[in-house]
Amino acid sequence: MNTMFDDDTVGKGPIRSEQYLTDEAGTGHVIGREAELHAIRDAIQPLTKRETPANILVYGPPGNGKTTCVNTVFDALESKTRVKTIRINCWQYRTRPALLTEILIQLGYPAPRKGKPVDERLGKLREWLDRNRSVAVALDEFDQLEDNTEILYDLHMLSQQTENKLGLVLLSNLPPEEFVLDERSWSRLNCEMIEFEPYTVDELQDILEDRVEQAFLPGTVDPEVIERIAEDAADSGGDCREAFARLLRVGRRASRDGAEEVTPEYLGGVEG
């Protein structure tokens, strides 16, 4: 037992950096999805001129680049414009007071004492928008939010009365018709829908090839391995995250075996 972890193959083998297959932040660049990136940018663009933007719902299956694309547009907003961005995962802030508090904290306010009324928090937000800059707010995993109709209504109404505007970007796996939100709320919000269709085999292959370049030593992954992982991922909803995880499993298996190349024999079954 005292030889446990002594494996001298650790650090050898075809993998250069696992981080590119595990880190949600990824590589910092998006492969494809140009139309979707442009649609998000165009909806938000009016904020850069202090005009009212289109609110948007970005929806589609897991691991298909929604968060990545919104983050890419938001990073550009932060670095190239005066628009302030706020990014919130609704899993963490599920109620109206919690969400409003988190927005205020990201705007630089100290955390308000518990129990402060919602109106007071909205008042602070109004004050910030009047005095400072336009704000783009991304609400990721939006379907996890309780009181979602009220929150959207609050923020949307507020933005109609303030000097600088607030734009909403909602992200979800669910299409609009599966939300509890009623028809009237959607139309009142003037919400534009941006659908992320599942990645095709070719798209997945391009994304995987780019990751392989970062994560593995040059020429150590057999193209058939990439092809097969892309095909299986496309068959099961286009999830990139799953495809990266599988690539990592296969790479580790080859490393453990002391192999210099990741060949199809390391693939295992679809779950592999």
Hey, CA dihedral for 216, 73, 55, 135, is it positive or negative?
positive
Question: Beta strands 55-59 and 191-195: pairing type?
Answer: parallel
Binding to ligand ATP by residue 198, rule CB under 6 A? no
Binding to ligand ATP by residue 121, rule CB under 6 A? no
Residue 64 gets which letter from DSSP?
S
The one among 13, 14, 26, 53 contacting ligand ATP by CB under 6 A: 26
Binding to ligand ATP by residue 24, rule CB under 6 A? yes
Q: Please give the residue whose beta carbon sits closest to Mg ion in the complex.
A: 67
Binding to Mg ion by residue 172, rule CB under 5 A? no
Of residues 77 and 171, the one with the C-beta less far from ligand ATP: 171
The one among 55, 68, 134, 220 contacting ligand ATP by CB under 6 A: 68
DSSP sequence for 73-132: HHHHHHHHSS-EEEEEETTT--SHHHHHHHHHHHTTPPPPPTT--HHHHHHHHHHHHHHS
Mutual angle of helices 223-235 and 240-256, in 10-degree steps:
140
The one among 64, 72, 220, 255 contacting ligand ATP by CB under 6 A: 64
Binding to ligand ATP by residue 63, rule CB under 6 A? yes
Q: Which residues contact 70 (CB under 8 A, 6 or more apart)?
A: 40, 58, 87, 138, 140, 169, 171
Half-sphere exposure of 91 (CA within 13 A, CB side): 5
Residues 172-191 that bind ligand ATP (CB under 6 A): 173
Q: Please give the residue whose beta carbon sits closest to ligand ATP in the complex.
A: 26
Query: Site for ligand ATP (CB under 6 A): how many residues?
Result: 17
Of residues 129 and 230, the one with the C-beta less far from ligand ATP: 230
Of residues 71 and 255, the one with the C-beta less far from ligand ATP: 71
Kindly list the residues in this chain that would bind Mg ion in the complex (CB under 5 A).
67
